[in-house]
Chain A
């Protein structure tokens, strides 16, 4: 029984941390953290911007995502869609966008680049070389923005001390189980952590969905060459910018990260990969993630001592509190900052989707252990081993076979397989 109290206490501490995250999210979305960086927001500061969009494959909602960048209310900007291969399926979509907006300065760059091991950076290097303006915005293909996006983020750059502006992200477009879990996680743990680190810890936590920088500042920290072999190139750029004395600002302008038709395996793959990144970057601090997962901590006694009134009460209480908290962020806090929300079908997870929050947290809790026993990642068709600060190392072919049967991979496969089987049974019985 003592053990149960210990887990209950840890779960309570997790909720305390969660409350701070909620507070941080509310605070961050109400006022830009850039204000303390002294952004005057005069509205007259509208320098030309080069938007670099590295594209590979068909992301959900790709056409609308790209099109949203053609309708920005901003005087002068160019968009560079960059590809490693002309046969990429996104090439056709980008071509259609260019044809639809002939008055926009849009170019398609196809240039294979093997400078480093990070495929996104390889894709960015040729686009960066061809960009015309001093301000560059790196924007992922699965991002959709509103018309005032550029005006909202560029105002921070009026302050010469600011070196990088990133944004809070909101997961939208839930049409499948994987997408629902992904968006629930983005809109709770990821959003909460980014805001908490920015607000209370003063730590830049840059997510590469949107990064606005001056070329001079990026070049001063070594440019893309310096991060070409890092998986978390966004985090490394943010850190180096911070270390170079430049301010890293988290804009309160929420951009949409569209995840519509993800499978469970993609959700698991991404968060295993992100977990490995955080383990390699944060080291022992990674432990705090487990302690800050109150539902998982409340669920462990059920596994250890079996279901009983006490253990079930604990996990049920924790689940209800977490559902309420995540629902509050997703529907109240984030809805106030929605940009063009009506344009995406199934924008916000429905209320019933929030019932999946405990399942998601337990799943994430299980995945937390994978980075401790594996340092290999699969990303966009490539497999790597990751080292300190997410530095990538190529995997020898012999090692690839071995990793397929590694304990981490087997654990990941077991979780995916169990969920798939449950989903399949549910579908058949429906």
Chain B
């Protein structure tokens, strides 16, 4: 079984740990697959503009640098730890109310997708690139100020585009995903070193990007584990 975490932030957005140190933290802990998913925040409202100004978001002009760094770190991780690093982003559509806000992980992304586009356009662009779409923390969390409920509230419309849903995020567990029988994974939403110890996904598949994506999408051989010190 592969020990995986598909939701990790670095200093490229609002994480507190440098990318190379994040790779080392996970590598030293024996992880098999991780995805680096820094925020791409919508810049079409004051909250998003603030995030852009504070450099808490990947922008179109920084995306190339981000991907190049990810690629070099992925190579280092493979050689040193035998760990697969998948490039990704977290499309973060932030609004004043939780009902309007939504976060999406795009795994194995190749080119930049702006977060201010419509959901349909984002899904279409992601699918064209062969990226996997994961709905993040889709239900109420312990920190209610961070709730992002739009996708869950509109699941009848959007569920068909979403490859998997986070059934657990850091310390929170969303039983509604289980009740709906949606495909699931569990992630840390890593921002700080201590977040290493949180919910994780175990996959029973080969350690390559296509197999991992296939395994998540078809949701066979997927289990979750609470990784604790």
Seen from chain A, the residues whose Cβ lies within 8 Å of a Cβ on chain B are: 57-58, 60-64, 89-90, 92-93, 95-96, 99-100, 175-176, 261, 345
The contact of B229 among A58, A96, A345, by CB within 8 Å, is A58
Q: For window 23-38 of chain B, which residues contact chain A by CB distance below 8 Å?
A: 24, 27-30
Contacts of A176 in B (CB 8 A): 193
Contacts of A57 in B (CB 8 A): 229
Q: For window 194-229 of chain B, which residues contact chain A by CB distance below 8 Å?
A: 227, 229
B81 within 8 A of A: yes
B114 within 8 A of A: no
Beyond A96-B82, A100-B82, A175-B193, whether A61 also contacts B30 by CB under 8 A is: no
Could you say which of A57, A61, A89 has the most chain B C-beta atoms within 10 Å of its C-beta?
A89
Residue of A nearest to B20 (CB): A345
A61 to B21: give the CA distance in the assembly, Å. 11
Contacts of B30 in A (CB 8 A): 58, 62-63, 89-90, 92-93, 95-96
B169: min CB distance to chain A, Å = 21
- What are 24 A-B contacts with C-beta separation under 8 Å? A58-B29, A58-B30, A60-B28, A62-B28, A62-B30, A63-B29, A63-B30, A63-B81, A64-B28, A89-B29, A89-B30, A89-B227, A89-B229, A90-B30, A92-B3, A93-B29, A96-B30, A96-B81, A96-B82, A99-B82, A175-B193, A176-B193, A345-B21, A345-B24
Ranked 8 nearest A-B pairs via Cβ: A93-B30, A92-B30, A63-B28, A58-B29, A62-B28, A261-B193, A61-B28, A96-B82
Contacts of B227 in A (CB 8 A): 89
Contacts of A345 in B (CB 8 A): 21, 24
Of the four ranges (under 10, 10 to 19, 20 to 34, 35 or more), the interface on chain B belongs to: 10 to 19
B143: min CB distance to chain A, Å = 16
Residue of A nearest to B3 (CB): A92
A55: min CB distance to chain B, Å = 11
Contacts of A60 in B (CB 8 A): 28
A330 to B229: give the CA distance in the assembly, Å. 30
A186 to B21: give the CA distance in the assembly, Å. 24
Contacts of B3 in A (CB 8 A): 92
A365 to B29: give the CA distance in the assembly, Å. 35
Contacts of B81 in A (CB 8 A): 63, 96
Contacts of A96 in B (CB 8 A): 30, 81-82
Main secondary structure of the interface of A (DSSP, over half): helix
Task: List 16 other contacts, CB 8 Å, given A58-B29, A90-B30.
Answer: A60-B28, A61-B28, A62-B28, A62-B30, A63-B27, A63-B28, A63-B29, A89-B29, A89-B30, A93-B28, A95-B30, A96-B30, A96-B81, A176-B193, A345-B21, A345-B24
Contacts of A93 in B (CB 8 A): 28-30
A341: min CB distance to chain B, Å = 16
Contacts of B193 in A (CB 8 A): 175-176, 261
Seen from chain B, the residues whose Cβ lies within 8 Å of a Cβ on chain A are: 3, 21, 24, 27-30, 81-82, 193, 227, 229
Contacts of B29 in A (CB 8 A): 58, 62-63, 89, 93
Residue of B nearest to A91 (CB): B30
Contacts of B82 in A (CB 8 A): 96, 99-100
A50 to B74: give the CA distance in the assembly, Å. 35
A89 to B29: give the CA distance in the assembly, Å. 8
B200: min CB distance to chain A, Å = 11
Could you say which of A63, A64, A95 has the most chain B C-beta atoms within 10 Å of its C-beta?
A63
B98: min CB distance to chain A, Å = 25
Residue of B nearest to A258 (CB): B28
A427 to B28: give the CA distance in the assembly, Å. 27
A60 to B21: give the CA distance in the assembly, Å. 12
Could you say which of B29, B82, B227 has the most chain A C-beta atoms within 10 Å of its C-beta?
B29
B101: min CB distance to chain A, Å = 25
Residue of A nearest to B27 (CB): A63
Contacts of B21 in A (CB 8 A): 345
A57 to B197: give the CA distance in the assembly, Å. 12
A202: min CB distance to chain B, Å = 40
A242 to B29: give the CA distance in the assembly, Å. 39
Contacts of A90 in B (CB 8 A): 30
A258: min CB distance to chain B, Å = 10
Residue of A nearest to B79 (CB): A100
A346 to B27: give the CA distance in the assembly, Å. 18
Contacts of A175 in B (CB 8 A): 193
A404: min CB distance to chain B, Å = 21
Residue of B nearest to A61 (CB): B28
A136 to B167: give the CA distance in the assembly, Å. 48
B149: min CB distance to chain A, Å = 28
Residue of A nearest to B194 (CB): A261
A90 to B227: give the CA distance in the assembly, Å. 12
A93 to B80: give the CA distance in the assembly, Å. 12
A28 to B3: give the CA distance in the assembly, Å. 45
A220: min CB distance to chain B, Å = 38
B20: min CB distance to chain A, Å = 9
Contacts of A95 in B (CB 8 A): 30
Contacts of B24 in A (CB 8 A): 345
Residue of A nearest to B228 (CB): A89
A93 to B82: give the CA distance in the assembly, Å. 11
Residue of B nearest to A92 (CB): B30
B123: min CB distance to chain A, Å = 35
A182: min CB distance to chain B, Å = 16
A261 to B229: give the CA distance in the assembly, Å. 12
A176 to B82: give the CA distance in the assembly, Å. 27
A175 to B24: give the CA distance in the assembly, Å. 13
Contacts of B28 in A (CB 8 A): 58, 60-64, 93
